Amino acid sequence: MKEMIQSAMEYAKSLGAGFCDLRYKDIHIEDIEVENSTLVKAEKKRSLGYGVRVYVDGAMGFAASSDPTQMNTVVKQAYEIARASLTLLAEKAKLDKKEAVQATYATPVKKCPFGMPFEEKLALLMECDKNMNATEGVKRTCSYLFFREDDVIFADTDGSYIDQSFLQSGAYIGATAFSDEDMQERSFIDIQRAGYEAILDMNLAERAKTIGKEAVELLKAEDCPSGEFDIILTPRQMFLQIHESVGHPTELDRILGSEAAYAGRSFVETENLTSKPLTYGSEHVTIVADATCPQGLGTFAYDDEGTPGQNVTLIDKGKFVGLQTSRDNAPKIGQNSGGAGLSDGWRNLPIVRMTNINLLPGQFTLDELISGIEYGFIFDENKSWSIDDLRINFQFACEMAREIKNGKLTGRVFKNPIYAGKTTEFWGNCDGTANKDFWELVGVPNCGKGQPMQVMRVSHGSSPTRFRKVKVGVSDVK
């Protein structure tokens, strides 16, 4: 394969390409799903192919194929597309400079999930199902395991050849309780770049007991009160708060308008890095895009443009200081790529994608955060979300709220908690995040972006975090 790919790069140069790169991806997926003690899915899928990007005099062409024997033909197709694009070229594309690299990388793995017996995986799911159903009142259960292995080769005409292997292991369990008037669900999902050992560490069977009990408890609970309250968000809600109100707004391609027709732009401007400083949050808010984070779904040695994985600070003690960038847009703001050029497979071009967008831990314990609230709530596990096309106004619904009164948890829970806010105002009202002992990395299974749509998995790390004066409840959300 290496000789074939390198030959294709030489062929691109012989055609007169100014630059050419190739991403070869061999993707294996396994899904196993159980619903109500019945196996409903057990499948393995494979997707293999490569995408070629060619630049000619500032114009770019892209072509892809699943046939490795046709690489030169695909290179020529991409070259001809680039040549044809010259006639309508409004602005010449410019890639940043990077070093040619010869490298290999693999996700650290103790137990390969693809080598584990199917019977053992199914037995785990059935045990989870049984444990959720052990609580009277649970009417529906769902458990599934999902694994993905990506073998990725990157090469370019500068001389790079990078061979990487990534492995993801994930699980979901969910229990639903319902009556004639209502339906409530408790769930848990986690995905990591790791082997089957990550599944074992999740303690799914034991966790399933709690999931079932809490689903029934929510069915009997009252609706969360409305008003303005102090709240604490757990990492299992913080992940989406970070994702939607920090991750997407700080993608440079979105800021420059490439998502405008599909998912909107961003309130962030490139001038916020220079002439128009932006206060994004309080001094407790430091957020990084970290492609080096262990077990993160956005962790790699090199991105899909051959740029090294990096740890880029986006917000430093509340001050906006950085963006997520790739090779084709970083030069527009006088920078080199931050290593965020990624594609979801071989059929699509790399675009700016989140790596692991993490809120760094603070100095508090969880008890200290709770003790600072006279009356409020801990919100846990996202249920739904909404945010405007500039990423300013948002609303999130969670599965459960736990009541805090006089600085202590009362043991009372509420259902259907909803909170809303404006991005910089909300982050500005953050007055504390728990320390590293409470820090948790949570995987996002389905981040969609681009046209054609690319669905990626990314991770977000945080500790429980406290926010003051938050609008809670439907009636108070404007």
Both 113 and 184 in a single domain? yes
**Domain of 7, in residue numbers:** 2-220
pLDDT higher than 50, residue 8: yes
Q: How far is CA 277 from the centre of its chain?
A: 27
Look at residues 203, 220, 237 and tell me which one is the last residue of a structural domain: 220
Q: Are 320 and 273 in contact (CB under 8 A)?
A: yes
CATH number of the structural domain spanning residue 125 = 3.30.2290.10
211 in any annotated domain: yes
Strand ranges inside 179-256, DSSP E: 183-192, 222-223, 227-233
Q: Are 357 and 289 in contact (CB under 8 A)?
A: yes
Both 17 and 150 in a single domain? yes
477 in any annotated domain: no
Look at residues 183, 204, 220 and tell me which one is the last residue of a structural domain: 220
Q: Are 254 and 451 in contact (CB under 8 A)?
A: no
- What value does the mean pLDDT take over residues 163-169? 98
First to last CA, the chain: 58
Gap between the Cα atoms of 314 and 16, Å rounded: 39
Q: What is the pLDDT of residues 341-380, one digit of tens each?
A: 999 999 999 999 999 999 999 999 999 999 999 999 999 9
Both 246 and 197 in a single domain? no
Both 265 and 277 in a single domain? yes
478 in any annotated domain: no
Look at residues 198, 220, 242 and tell me which one is the last residue of a structural domain: 220
Both 201 and 284 in a single domain? no
Q: Are 20 and 5 in contact (CB under 8 A)?
A: no
Both 468 and 444 in a single domain? yes
17 in any annotated domain: yes
Q: What is the pLDDT of residues 82-111, one digit of tens each?
A: 999 999 888 899 999 999 999 999 999 999
Q: What is the pLDDT of residues 414-430, one digit of tens each?
A: 999 999 999 999 999 99
Where does the pLDDT of residue 157 fall: very low under 50, low under 70, confident under 90, or very high at 90 and above?
Answer: very high
Q: What is the pLDDT of residues 251-261, one digit of tens each?
A: 999 999 999 98
Both 331 and 459 in a single domain? yes
206 in any annotated domain: yes
Both 197 and 272 in a single domain? no
Both 152 and 187 in a single domain? yes
Both 9 and 102 in a single domain? yes
Gap between the Cα atoms of 220 and 21, Å rounded: 58
How many separate domains does the chain show? Answer: 2
Both 233 and 211 in a single domain? no
For residue 447 the two structure tokens come to 């981040």
Gap between the Cα atoms of 198 and 442, Å rounded: 12
74 in any annotated domain: yes
Q: What is the pLDDT of residues 383-425, one digit of tens each?
A: 999 999 999 999 999 999 999 999 999 999 999 999 999 999 9
296 in any annotated domain: yes
Both 194 and 229 in a single domain? no
Where does the pLDDT of residue 186 fall: very low under 50, low under 70, confident under 90, or very high at 90 and above?
Answer: very high
Q: What is the pLDDT of residue 274?
A: 96
115 in any annotated domain: yes
User: Any idea what DSSP says for residue 90?
Assistant: S
